[in-house]
Chains A and B, each alone.
Chain A
Amino acid sequence: AQSVSQHNHHVILSEAASLELGCNYSYGGTVNLFWYVQYPGQHLQLLLKYFSGDPLVKGIKGFEAEFIKSKFSFNLRKPSVQWSDTAEYFCAVQGTGFQKLVFGTGTRLLVSP
């Protein structure tokens, strides 16, 4: 069965700082990988996804993530955060061939102006 580990539960940054949120997964086969974001009071929305091809994927709002197969990792990065990036971020993994989507426990990011 798949599992996802997000090591940082709470992250506090100042505006313009760089961001990296860790995500490691456990699954024996080929996977699809996702990062979702939940802004305060809003529903979950997709930030970016990896299905195949270039392991460096770019998403909305300047976010990117790199799939490193040998490390079973899919870390999320942004070079310069803004106050509006304050949100909860969830990493998720899905075994290919329509396996269920499994989420990590989430990372709460607070960006101070």
Chain B
Amino acid sequence: DGGITQSPKYLFRKEGQNVTLSCEQNLNHDAMYWYRQDPGQGLRLIYYSQIVNDFQKGDIAEGYSVSREKKESFPLTVTSAQKNPTAFYLCASSIKGGELFFGEGSRLTVL
């Protein structure tokens, strides 16, 4: 089945550790996105990528990093510089200018 796979679904980490969240899509979409969802704040864009080997910062990129070495993959690293990393992270993909298709999300808890 075509879709977006995020892993892991749940992740616990200690403060000061970097964490990488995986996002893979087999929809052949050019664009991929990472959003963060917090209660009462909606979805806020962290990073997005329109083509392979290129990506742009979103509204809350500080403390995060990404790479886009393959069309189907867009991993997100939550670094120790992120001050409030506990959140629900959503990956999405789209054709250029089209609707976004979302994965099921990864819930990160930093202890």
Contacts and interface: CB of A to CB of B under 8 A. Distances in A.
A102 interface: yes
B96 interface: yes
Interface residues of A, number: 23
A28 to B, nearest CB: 18
B42 A103 contact: yes
A46 B93 CA distance: 13
B52 interface: no
B19 interface: no
Given A45-B102, A46-B99, A98 B31 contact: yes
A94 B97 contact: yes
Given A43-B105, A90-B42, A90-B43, A101 B96 contact: no
A101 B41 contact: no
Nearest to B103: A43
B89 interface: no
A106 B45 contact: no
Most buried by A among B35, B41, B56, B100: B100
B40 A100 contact: no
A104 to B, nearest CB: 6
Contacts of B103: 43
B55 to A, nearest CB: 12
Contacts of A53: none
Given A98-B96, A100-B58, A44 B41 contact: no
30 contacts: A6-B42, A32-B97, A34-B99, A42-B104, A43-B103, A43-B104, A44-B90, A44-B92, A44-B102, A46-B100, A46-B101, A49-B99, A90-B42, A90-B43, A94-B97, A97-B97, A98-B31, A98-B97, A100-B33, A100-B48, A100-B58, A101-B33, A101-B45, A101-B100, A102-B45, A103-B42, A104-B42, A105-B41, A106-B42, A106-B43
The 4 closest A-B CB pairs, nearest first, are A105-B42, A103-B43, A44-B102, A43-B104
Interface of A: 6, 9, 32, 34, 36, 42-46, 49, 90, 94, 96-98, 100-106
